[in-house]
A and B are shown apart, each in its own frame.
Chain A
Amino acid sequence: MKNETFGYLNDYDLKWSLYPTGPAMMDSFASGETDIGYIGLPPVMIRLENGLKLKCVAGGHIEGTVMVAPNSYKTFYELGSVKTVLEQFEGEIIGTPSRGCIHDVIINEITKDLDITIKNFEWADFIPDALEDGEIAAGVGTPSLATVISNRMDSNIVIPPYKLWPYNPSYGIVVREDLIDESPEFITQFLKAHEKACNLIKLQPENAAKIAYKELEVVNKEFVLNTYKISPKYCASLPEDYINSTLKFIPVLKNLGYMKSNLIKDEIFELKFIQKTHPEPAHYNSTP
Protein backbone atom coordinates (compact mmCIF):
# COMPACT_ATOMS: atom_id res chain seq x y z
CA MET A 1 0.00 0.00 0.00
CA LYS A 2 2.85 2.35 0.73
CA ASN A 3 4.29 1.95 -2.77
CA GLU A 4 1.25 0.94 -4.81
CA THR A 5 -2.07 2.60 -4.11
CA PHE A 6 -3.46 1.92 -7.59
CA GLY A 7 -4.10 5.62 -8.18
CA TYR A 8 -6.61 5.95 -5.35
CA LEU A 9 -4.46 7.91 -2.91
CA ASN A 10 -2.40 10.14 -5.21
CA ASP A 11 -4.06 13.28 -3.86
CA TYR A 12 -3.16 12.53 -0.27
CA ASP A 13 0.18 13.22 1.42
CA LEU A 14 0.55 10.13 3.58
CA LYS A 15 3.20 9.47 6.18
CA TRP A 16 3.69 5.78 7.02
CA SER A 17 4.99 4.50 10.35
CA LEU A 18 5.90 0.99 11.46
CA TYR A 19 5.14 -0.11 15.03
CA PRO A 20 6.61 -3.07 16.89
CA THR A 21 3.18 -4.44 17.85
CA GLY A 22 -0.51 -3.57 17.97
CA PRO A 23 -0.40 -2.12 21.51
CA ALA A 24 2.38 0.27 20.41
CA MET A 25 0.23 1.42 17.51
CA MET A 26 -2.60 2.02 19.96
CA ASP A 27 -0.34 4.38 21.92
CA SER A 28 0.24 6.27 18.69
CA PHE A 29 -3.51 6.54 18.06
CA ALA A 30 -3.94 7.76 21.64
CA SER A 31 -1.35 10.51 21.18
CA GLY A 32 -3.04 11.67 17.96
CA GLU A 33 -0.09 10.73 15.72
CA THR A 34 -1.95 8.06 13.76
CA ASP A 35 -5.23 8.40 11.85
CA ILE A 36 -5.55 5.00 10.19
CA GLY A 37 -3.78 1.70 10.74
CA TYR A 38 -3.50 -2.01 9.97
CA ILE A 39 -3.88 -3.86 13.24
CA GLY A 40 -5.18 -7.04 14.91
CA LEU A 41 -8.45 -6.36 16.67
CA PRO A 42 -7.79 -7.34 20.33
CA PRO A 43 -5.56 -4.34 21.19
CA VAL A 44 -8.18 -2.09 19.61
CA MET A 45 -10.92 -3.62 21.77
CA ILE A 46 -8.80 -3.18 24.91
CA ARG A 47 -8.28 0.51 24.17
CA LEU A 48 -11.91 1.09 23.13
CA GLU A 49 -12.91 -0.02 26.59
CA ASN A 50 -10.47 2.55 27.98
CA GLY A 51 -12.16 5.35 26.05
CA LEU A 52 -10.08 5.65 22.89
CA LYS A 53 -12.38 6.62 20.00
CA LEU A 54 -11.68 4.21 17.14
CA LYS A 55 -13.64 2.18 14.62
CA CYS A 56 -12.74 -0.81 12.48
CA VAL A 57 -13.89 0.10 8.96
CA ALA A 58 -12.56 -2.91 7.01
CA GLY A 59 -11.03 -6.33 7.32
CA GLY A 60 -7.73 -7.27 5.71
CA HIS A 61 -6.39 -10.61 6.82
CA ILE A 62 -7.59 -13.56 8.88
CA GLU A 63 -5.79 -16.41 10.62
CA GLY A 64 -2.44 -14.66 10.80
CA THR A 65 -1.20 -16.25 14.03
CA VAL A 66 1.05 -19.30 13.82
CA MET A 67 2.99 -21.37 16.34
CA VAL A 68 6.51 -22.38 15.33
CA ALA A 69 8.96 -24.70 17.08
CA PRO A 70 12.16 -26.61 16.34
CA ASN A 71 11.48 -29.79 14.41
CA SER A 72 12.20 -31.91 17.47
CA TYR A 73 8.59 -31.15 18.43
CA LYS A 74 5.74 -32.94 16.68
CA THR A 75 3.13 -31.03 14.70
CA PHE A 76 -0.65 -30.97 14.69
CA TYR A 77 -0.61 -33.12 11.56
CA GLU A 78 1.41 -35.79 13.37
CA LEU A 79 -0.43 -35.69 16.69
CA GLY A 80 -3.98 -34.90 15.58
CA SER A 81 -5.00 -32.35 18.22
CA VAL A 82 -4.01 -28.89 19.41
CA LYS A 83 -4.06 -30.06 23.04
CA THR A 84 -1.57 -32.87 22.37
CA VAL A 85 0.75 -30.50 20.53
CA LEU A 86 0.65 -28.04 23.42
CA GLU A 87 1.26 -30.74 26.03
CA GLN A 88 4.75 -31.17 24.53
CA PHE A 89 5.56 -27.69 25.86
CA GLU A 90 4.55 -28.26 29.51
CA GLY A 91 7.22 -26.79 31.77
CA GLU A 92 8.60 -24.74 28.87
CA ILE A 93 8.46 -21.11 27.79
CA ILE A 94 6.70 -19.88 24.64
CA GLY A 95 7.60 -16.49 23.19
CA THR A 96 5.17 -14.03 21.64
CA PRO A 97 5.04 -10.26 20.98
CA SER A 98 3.89 -7.79 23.62
CA ARG A 99 0.98 -8.19 26.04
CA GLY A 100 -2.40 -7.50 24.53
CA CYS A 101 -1.48 -8.18 20.91
CA ILE A 102 -3.58 -10.79 19.12
CA HIS A 103 -0.85 -13.48 19.27
CA ASP A 104 -0.41 -12.97 23.02
CA VAL A 105 -4.15 -13.24 23.62
CA ILE A 106 -4.52 -16.41 21.55
CA ILE A 107 -1.57 -18.28 23.07
CA ASN A 108 -2.55 -17.28 26.61
CA GLU A 109 -6.08 -18.57 26.00
CA ILE A 110 -5.15 -21.93 24.52
CA THR A 111 -2.49 -22.67 27.15
CA LYS A 112 -4.47 -21.46 30.18
CA ASP A 113 -4.91 -24.97 31.64
CA LEU A 114 -1.33 -26.06 31.00
CA ASP A 115 1.96 -25.51 32.83
CA ILE A 116 3.41 -23.25 30.13
CA THR A 117 4.99 -19.85 30.66
CA ILE A 118 4.36 -17.12 28.11
CA LYS A 119 7.19 -14.65 27.59
CA ASN A 120 6.43 -11.38 25.82
CA PHE A 121 8.91 -9.63 23.54
CA GLU A 122 8.60 -5.97 22.63
CA TRP A 123 9.68 -6.75 19.07
CA ALA A 124 8.75 -10.02 17.32
CA ASP A 125 12.23 -9.93 15.77
CA PHE A 126 13.70 -10.93 19.14
CA ILE A 127 11.83 -14.26 19.05
CA PRO A 128 13.92 -16.14 16.42
CA ASP A 129 17.14 -15.47 18.35
CA ALA A 130 15.50 -16.48 21.64
CA LEU A 131 14.45 -19.73 19.97
CA GLU A 132 17.94 -20.33 18.56
CA ASP A 133 19.45 -19.69 21.97
CA GLY A 134 17.05 -22.12 23.67
CA GLU A 135 15.59 -19.32 25.79
CA ILE A 136 12.12 -20.30 24.55
CA ALA A 137 10.78 -23.59 23.18
CA ALA A 138 8.39 -22.11 20.60
CA GLY A 139 7.33 -18.82 19.09
CA VAL A 140 3.84 -17.53 18.34
CA GLY A 141 3.36 -14.66 15.92
CA THR A 142 2.85 -13.71 12.29
CA PRO A 143 3.48 -15.80 9.17
CA SER A 144 6.58 -13.67 8.53
CA LEU A 145 7.92 -14.66 11.96
CA ALA A 146 7.53 -18.29 10.87
CA THR A 147 9.46 -17.58 7.66
CA VAL A 148 12.28 -15.83 9.54
CA ILE A 149 12.56 -18.77 11.95
CA SER A 150 12.50 -21.34 9.15
CA ASN A 151 15.36 -19.48 7.44
CA ARG A 152 17.45 -19.71 10.59
CA MET A 153 16.79 -23.19 11.94
CA ASP A 154 15.09 -26.51 11.26
CA SER A 155 11.57 -25.72 12.39
CA ASN A 156 7.92 -26.45 11.71
CA ILE A 157 4.62 -24.70 12.08
CA VAL A 158 3.41 -26.98 14.87
CA ILE A 159 -0.13 -25.58 14.96
CA PRO A 160 -1.56 -24.17 11.71
CA PRO A 161 -3.31 -20.78 11.85
CA TYR A 162 -6.82 -22.13 11.24
CA LYS A 163 -6.48 -24.43 14.27
CA LEU A 164 -5.26 -21.74 16.66
CA TRP A 165 -8.31 -19.51 16.25
CA PRO A 166 -10.53 -19.89 13.15
CA TYR A 167 -11.18 -16.65 11.24
CA ASN A 168 -9.20 -14.63 13.79
CA PRO A 169 -9.02 -10.95 12.79
CA SER A 170 -5.25 -10.80 12.42
CA TYR A 171 -5.67 -7.37 10.97
CA GLY A 172 -8.31 -4.94 9.94
CA ILE A 173 -8.30 -1.27 9.00
CA VAL A 174 -8.90 0.90 12.05
CA VAL A 175 -9.47 4.66 11.98
CA ARG A 176 -9.65 7.47 14.47
CA GLU A 177 -13.41 7.94 14.92
CA ASP A 178 -13.28 11.65 14.06
CA LEU A 179 -11.85 10.78 10.66
CA ILE A 180 -15.20 9.24 9.69
CA ASP A 181 -16.83 12.69 9.66
CA GLU A 182 -13.72 14.69 8.74
CA SER A 183 -12.54 12.67 5.72
CA PRO A 184 -15.05 10.06 4.55
CA GLU A 185 -13.77 10.26 0.99
CA PHE A 186 -10.22 9.49 2.13
CA ILE A 187 -11.45 6.38 3.96
CA THR A 188 -13.37 5.25 0.88
CA GLN A 189 -10.35 5.73 -1.40
CA PHE A 190 -8.09 4.00 1.12
CA LEU A 191 -10.39 0.97 1.23
CA LYS A 192 -10.53 0.78 -2.56
CA ALA A 193 -6.74 0.69 -2.69
CA HIS A 194 -6.65 -1.78 0.20
CA GLU A 195 -8.98 -4.22 -1.58
CA LYS A 196 -6.86 -3.97 -4.75
CA ALA A 197 -3.77 -4.75 -2.69
CA CYS A 198 -5.49 -7.77 -1.09
CA ASN A 199 -6.43 -9.07 -4.53
CA LEU A 200 -2.93 -8.49 -5.90
CA ILE A 201 -1.50 -10.76 -3.19
CA LYS A 202 -4.07 -13.47 -3.90
CA LEU A 203 -4.12 -13.31 -7.71
CA GLN A 204 -0.59 -12.15 -8.56
CA PRO A 205 1.57 -13.08 -5.56
CA GLU A 206 4.78 -12.81 -7.63
CA ASN A 207 4.01 -9.18 -8.51
CA ALA A 208 2.93 -8.39 -4.95
CA ALA A 209 6.12 -9.98 -3.61
CA LYS A 210 8.24 -7.83 -5.94
CA ILE A 211 6.67 -4.67 -4.51
CA ALA A 212 7.05 -5.93 -0.95
CA TYR A 213 10.67 -6.99 -1.15
CA LYS A 214 11.71 -3.74 -2.82
CA GLU A 215 10.09 -1.93 0.08
CA LEU A 216 11.61 -4.15 2.77
CA GLU A 217 15.08 -4.15 1.11
CA VAL A 218 17.66 -6.86 1.73
CA VAL A 219 15.15 -9.70 1.84
CA ASN A 220 14.38 -11.67 -1.31
CA LYS A 221 11.19 -12.39 -3.19
CA GLU A 222 11.13 -15.98 -1.94
CA PHE A 223 10.93 -14.75 1.64
CA VAL A 224 7.80 -12.75 0.81
CA LEU A 225 6.21 -15.54 -1.26
CA ASN A 226 6.84 -18.12 1.46
CA THR A 227 5.19 -15.79 3.96
CA TYR A 228 2.13 -15.30 1.73
CA LYS A 229 1.73 -19.09 1.37
CA ILE A 230 1.39 -19.69 5.12
CA SER A 231 -2.03 -18.04 5.39
CA PRO A 232 -3.10 -16.44 2.08
CA LYS A 233 -6.40 -15.17 3.45
CA TYR A 234 -6.63 -11.56 2.36
CA CYS A 235 -9.79 -9.52 1.73
CA ALA A 236 -11.06 -6.07 2.74
CA SER A 237 -14.59 -7.10 3.65
CA LEU A 238 -16.16 -7.50 7.08
CA PRO A 239 -18.41 -10.55 6.90
CA GLU A 240 -20.33 -11.90 9.88
CA ASP A 241 -17.66 -14.62 10.35
CA TYR A 242 -15.01 -11.91 10.84
CA ILE A 243 -17.20 -9.94 13.22
CA ASN A 244 -18.28 -12.99 15.24
CA SER A 245 -14.69 -14.20 15.54
CA THR A 246 -13.73 -10.74 16.82
CA LEU A 247 -16.55 -10.70 19.38
CA LYS A 248 -15.43 -14.12 20.69
CA PHE A 249 -12.30 -12.37 21.99
CA ILE A 250 -14.34 -10.36 24.51
CA PRO A 251 -14.79 -13.07 27.19
CA VAL A 252 -11.17 -14.13 26.65
CA LEU A 253 -9.88 -10.59 27.11
CA LYS A 254 -11.98 -10.30 30.26
CA ASN A 255 -10.70 -13.62 31.63
CA LEU A 256 -7.11 -12.54 30.96
CA GLY A 257 -7.76 -9.28 32.81
CA TYR A 258 -7.13 -7.15 29.71
CA MET A 259 -10.60 -5.61 29.85
CA LYS A 260 -13.48 -5.53 32.32
CA SER A 261 -16.71 -4.77 30.50
CA ASN A 262 -18.42 -5.91 27.32
CA LEU A 263 -18.33 -4.28 23.92
CA ILE A 264 -20.99 -4.66 21.27
CA LYS A 265 -20.52 -4.95 17.51
CA ASP A 266 -21.41 -1.30 16.80
CA GLU A 267 -18.84 -0.06 19.31
CA ILE A 268 -16.07 -1.83 17.36
CA PHE A 269 -17.19 -1.70 13.73
CA GLU A 270 -18.41 0.96 11.29
CA LEU A 271 -19.60 -0.98 8.25
CA LYS A 272 -20.90 1.76 5.92
CA PHE A 273 -17.60 2.27 4.05
CA ILE A 274 -16.88 -1.38 3.33
CA GLN A 275 -20.49 -2.10 2.40
CA LYS A 276 -20.07 0.57 -0.29
CA THR A 277 -16.61 -0.41 -1.52
CA HIS A 278 -16.92 -4.19 -1.14
CA PRO A 279 -20.59 -5.17 -1.61
CA GLU A 280 -19.69 -8.60 -3.04
CA PRO A 281 -19.21 -11.63 -0.72
CA ALA A 282 -15.99 -11.97 1.27
CA HIS A 283 -13.20 -13.97 -0.36
CA TYR A 284 -10.82 -14.66 2.52
CA ASN A 285 -11.06 -18.39 1.83
CA SER A 286 -11.53 -18.22 -1.93
CA THR A 287 -10.35 -16.36 -5.02
CA PRO A 288 -11.85 -12.90 -5.61
Chain B
Amino acid sequence: MVKIKFLARFKDITGEKEVIIDYNGEIANLIEILTEKYDKGFKDSLFNENGELREYMKILINGEDVRNINGLKTTVNEDDEIVIFQTIAGG
Protein backbone atom coordinates (compact mmCIF):
# COMPACT_ATOMS: atom_id res chain seq x y z
CA MET B 1 0.00 0.00 0.00
CA VAL B 2 1.27 3.49 -0.85
CA LYS B 3 0.81 6.26 1.71
CA ILE B 4 0.29 9.76 0.30
CA LYS B 5 0.55 12.73 2.66
CA PHE B 6 -0.76 16.19 1.83
CA LEU B 7 0.68 19.35 3.36
CA ALA B 8 -0.83 22.82 3.76
CA ARG B 9 -2.87 23.87 0.69
CA PHE B 10 -3.12 20.26 -0.54
CA LYS B 11 -4.55 19.26 2.83
CA ASP B 12 -7.17 22.00 2.35
CA ILE B 13 -7.97 20.98 -1.23
CA THR B 14 -8.26 17.25 -0.54
CA GLY B 15 -9.76 17.58 2.93
CA GLU B 16 -7.39 14.81 3.99
CA LYS B 17 -4.03 14.66 5.74
CA GLU B 18 -3.15 11.40 4.08
CA VAL B 19 -4.60 8.68 1.95
CA ILE B 20 -3.53 5.07 1.44
CA ILE B 21 -3.87 3.56 -2.01
CA ASP B 22 -3.07 0.14 -3.39
CA TYR B 23 -0.81 1.11 -6.30
CA ASN B 24 2.27 0.03 -8.19
CA GLY B 25 3.53 1.93 -11.24
CA GLU B 26 4.57 5.36 -12.49
CA ILE B 27 3.89 8.35 -10.26
CA ALA B 28 2.22 10.13 -13.21
CA ASN B 29 -0.61 7.59 -13.24
CA LEU B 30 -1.00 7.79 -9.49
CA ILE B 31 -1.29 11.58 -9.72
CA GLU B 32 -3.91 11.10 -12.46
CA ILE B 33 -5.93 8.92 -10.08
CA LEU B 34 -5.70 11.67 -7.45
CA THR B 35 -6.74 14.43 -9.86
CA GLU B 36 -9.89 12.43 -10.67
CA LYS B 37 -10.55 11.81 -6.98
CA TYR B 38 -10.21 15.42 -5.83
CA ASP B 39 -11.40 18.91 -6.72
CA LYS B 40 -10.06 20.58 -9.90
CA GLY B 41 -7.95 22.81 -7.62
CA PHE B 42 -5.72 19.82 -6.95
CA LYS B 43 -4.66 19.51 -10.57
CA ASP B 44 -4.53 23.28 -11.15
CA SER B 45 -2.31 23.79 -8.13
CA LEU B 46 0.06 21.04 -9.10
CA PHE B 47 0.38 21.64 -12.86
CA ASN B 48 0.65 24.72 -15.07
CA GLU B 49 -1.38 25.32 -18.23
CA ASN B 50 1.11 23.20 -20.22
CA GLY B 51 0.56 20.24 -17.95
CA GLU B 52 4.01 20.59 -16.37
CA LEU B 53 4.60 20.21 -12.65
CA ARG B 54 4.83 23.75 -11.28
CA GLU B 55 8.35 24.62 -10.13
CA TYR B 56 7.51 25.19 -6.46
CA MET B 57 5.32 22.11 -6.20
CA LYS B 58 7.09 19.15 -4.69
CA ILE B 59 6.36 15.46 -4.88
CA LEU B 60 8.67 13.49 -2.62
CA ILE B 61 8.94 9.71 -2.70
CA ASN B 62 10.51 8.41 0.50
CA GLY B 63 11.95 11.89 1.05
CA GLU B 64 13.46 12.23 -2.44
CA ASP B 65 12.18 14.85 -4.89
CA VAL B 66 10.84 13.03 -7.97
CA ARG B 67 12.68 15.59 -10.11
CA ASN B 68 15.93 14.08 -8.80
CA ILE B 69 14.81 10.54 -9.67
CA ASN B 70 12.96 10.09 -12.95
CA GLY B 71 10.42 12.90 -12.82
CA LEU B 72 6.81 11.87 -13.28
CA LYS B 73 8.04 8.60 -14.77
CA THR B 74 9.45 7.59 -11.39
CA THR B 75 8.14 4.22 -10.26
CA VAL B 76 6.16 4.00 -7.06
CA ASN B 77 6.51 0.74 -5.18
CA GLU B 78 4.50 -0.92 -2.45
CA ASP B 79 5.09 0.70 0.99
CA ASP B 80 6.49 3.91 -0.52
CA GLU B 81 5.56 7.16 1.20
CA ILE B 82 4.71 10.15 -0.96
CA VAL B 83 4.42 13.76 0.22
CA ILE B 84 2.82 16.46 -1.93
CA PHE B 85 3.28 20.14 -1.06
CA GLN B 86 4.15 23.61 -2.25
CA THR B 87 7.51 24.82 -1.01
CA ILE B 88 7.18 28.38 0.24
CA ALA B 89 8.45 28.20 3.82
CA GLY B 90 12.12 28.81 2.99
CA GLY B 91 15.02 26.75 4.21
Contact = CB atoms under 8 A, between A and B. Distances in A.
A125 B58 CA distance: 10
Contacts of A101: 91
Given A125-B8, A218-B9, A144 B56 contact: no
A278 B88 CA distance: 30
B69 to A, nearest CB: 15
Nearest to B41: A218
A216 interface: yes
Given A122-B63, A125-B86, A217-B48, A19 B54 contact: no
A98 to B, nearest CB: 8
Interface string A95-111: 00100010000000000
Contact of B8 (A18, A21, A148): A148
Contacts of A24: 91
Contacts of A143: 90
B87 interface: yes
Interface string B75-91: 00000000101111111
Interface stretch (A85-93, A126-134, A172-180): A126-134
Interface in A14-46: 18-22, 24-25
A22 B90 CA distance: 10
Contact of B88 (A25, A97, A125): A125
Interface residues of B, number: 21
Contacts of A124: 87, 89-91
Interface in A140-166: 141-145, 148, 152
A77 interface: no
A148 B91 contact: no
Nearest to B87: A125
A149 B19 CA distance: 23
Q: How large is the interface on A (under 10, 10 to 19, 20 to 34, 35 or more residues)?
A: 20 to 34
B43 interface: no
A219 B88 contact: yes
B36 interface: no
A216 B88 contact: yes
Contacts of B91: 19-22, 24-25, 97, 101, 123-124, 141-142
Contact of A218 (B17, B54, B60, B90): B54
19 contacts: A20-B87, A24-B91, A123-B60, A124-B90, A124-B91, A125-B86, A125-B87, A126-B7, A126-B85, A129-B17, A141-B90, A141-B91, A142-B89, A148-B88, A148-B89, A152-B8, A216-B88, A217-B55, A219-B86
Given A141-B89, A218-B45, A219-B86, 11 more contacts: A123-B85, A125-B87, A129-B8, A129-B11, A141-B91, A142-B91, A144-B88, A144-B89, A144-B90, A217-B48, A217-B56
Interface of A: 18-22, 24-25, 97, 101, 122-129, 141-145, 148, 152, 216-219, 223
